[in-house]
Amino acid sequence: MKKINQNLSEANAEMLLHYLYPEMDDKWTVEHQGTFYRNFNRDLIAYDENTGEVQVARDSFTKLLPPGLLFSESSLKGKGQKNKINKLNDRQRLLRELFQPIDNVSFKRRMNIEQEIASLLDTKQQYVLSTYFHYDIKAETNEYIKQMAGLLPMVRNIRGDFKLIRNILATLFKCEVTCTFGRYSDTDQTRSWIPQVAYELIIEELTPERYEQTAKDLEELRQFMQEWFFPFDVNCVMTIKWHHQSMNDCKHWMLDYNTELKV
């Protein structure tokens, strides 16, 4: 099972699983590890998307049962403590297996609620973007722009934060992104220079077809971000680069994808 290593203590298991695997909302089998773990771990402890098993830091239905069903005052008295403890553990395990369907029903009900919440949030997002920003996210085909459009309600705090935009690009394209500042002019007069910020996305081993599609998506994203997330007097450039390692000096060269090397 996959362990959750990130610091996601504020996110519940239903939200994370619905976001990661929306097609498996009704296929999860939950195993409660008890709230003792909640003080030290996140709500979702581990999961396996192949088997549909989930471990959460919550109390199971057996927590509501009377303690007398598990043991009595004389359960651990007398000799043979080890065997008695093993019997208690077996009894507890059998009770967990007996009531696990109830835990599963409760968990799946919460998953359905999370699905409804996500649907309502999508509707709310569409309404906000269309009403206040005159932007139809349902008609958008560029997945990168779709994700970026979700930040439009916070555009006032993001616009002009070039380092934050670099981090956003790195997250969207899952690659290293460099950011440099300079000046730009479409004339020969230095008096017409305006500030410019250039982002280079280091994406390695792209095929010609994949490069063409990625460059197209990046240019559409650049135009969208130029309109919403950059000051009007700042020119934005986004290009795709590739680190090439020389066989002679073992140094990295920064190359365009249309660069040709000759020996």
Asked whether residue 28 is domain-assigned, the answer is yes
Q: Which of 101, 120, 139 is the last residue of a domain?
A: 120
pLDDT in tens, the chain (263 residues): 777 666 666 678 888 888 788 888 778 888 887 765 555 567 888 888 888 888 888 888 877 777 766 666 666 666 777 787 787 778 778 878 888 888 889 889 989 888 888 888 888 888 999 999 999 998 999 999 999 999 999 998 899 899 999 999 999 999 999 999 888 776 666 566 778 899 999 988 888 888 899 999 999 999 999 999 998 888 899 999 875 554 454 455 555 666 655 54
Same domain? For 94 and 197 the reply is no
Same domain? For 164 and 71 the reply is no
pLDDT of residue 21: 84
Q: How many separate domains does the chain show? A: 2
Same domain? For 34 and 95 the reply is yes
pLDDT of residue 222: 94
Question: CA-to-CA distance for 94 and 260, rounded, in angstroms?
Answer: 68
Query: What is the span of the domain harbouring residue 103?
Result: 2-120
pTM for the model stands at 0.58
Q: Which of 103, 120, 137 is the last residue of a domain?
A: 120
Domain containing 193 — which CATH number? 3.30.70
Question: CA-to-CA distance for 84 and 82, rounded, in angstroms?
Answer: 5
pLDDT of residue 216: 94
Asked whether residue 126 is domain-assigned, the answer is no
From residue 28, give the alpha-carbon distance in Å to each of 56, 57, 93, 129.
Answer: 12, 15, 20, 34
DSSP summary character for residue 206: -
Beta strands at 53-56 and 29-32: parallel, antiparallel or unpaired: parallel
Asked whether residue 139 is domain-assigned, the answer is no
Same domain? For 18 and 101 the reply is yes
- Nearest CA-CA partner of 60 in 34, 86, 91, 27: 34
Question: CA-to-CA distance for 232 and 185, rounded, in angstroms?
Answer: 14
Q: Which of 120, 142, 177 is the last residue of a domain?
A: 120
Question: Helix or strand or coil: residue 69?
Answer: helix
Same domain? For 11 and 112 the reply is yes
